Amino acid sequence: MPKKKKILIVEDEQFTLKLYTHLLSEEGYEIMATPRASEALRLAKDFKPDMFIVDLMLQDGDGFSLIKGLRQISSFQKTPILTLSNLGQETDIHEAVKRGASKYLIKSNVRFEDIVATVKDLIK
């Protein structure tokens, strides 16, 4: 049986964090989650995820800096980063992609099935 793919979710909204964790666990992924940007880099090094899901508004920082920080770690330079945020401005999307996000979805415009499909597409 193949090894479960691992996803680190960085999301400060508890309900959303639990929902994503539940949905993606049901799909067979191993999930680690944190609401804090400061914890995410440490967890990433220990957990070694195959993918990241990052919100831009976090309890103790912002997802833009986190994405940039992840991309500066050699082992995560090619790891997919899905940005899921309520920030829908073109400037926010552009900034996230510029810093290394693989894909950007606006929470209010996307269904959970789309999130799961995007994860499956990115984590092959």
90-99: per-residue pLDDT in tens? 999 999 999 9
> In sequence order, which residues have a C-beta less than 8 Å from that of residue 3 and are 6 or more positions away?
none
pTM score: 0.95
Alpha-carbon torsion 95, 69, 34, 53, what sign?
positive
35-65 per-position pLDDT tens digit: 999 999 999 999 999 999 999 999 898 999 9
DSSP state of 50: S
Pairing type for strands 51-54 and 61-62 reads unpaired
- Checking if the pLDDT of 80 tops 90, the result is yes
**The listed CATH number (3.30.1600.10, 3.40.50.2300, 3.40.50.620, 3.40.50.12780) that belongs to domain 17-122:** 3.40.50.2300
Segment 86-107 shows an average pLDDT of 95
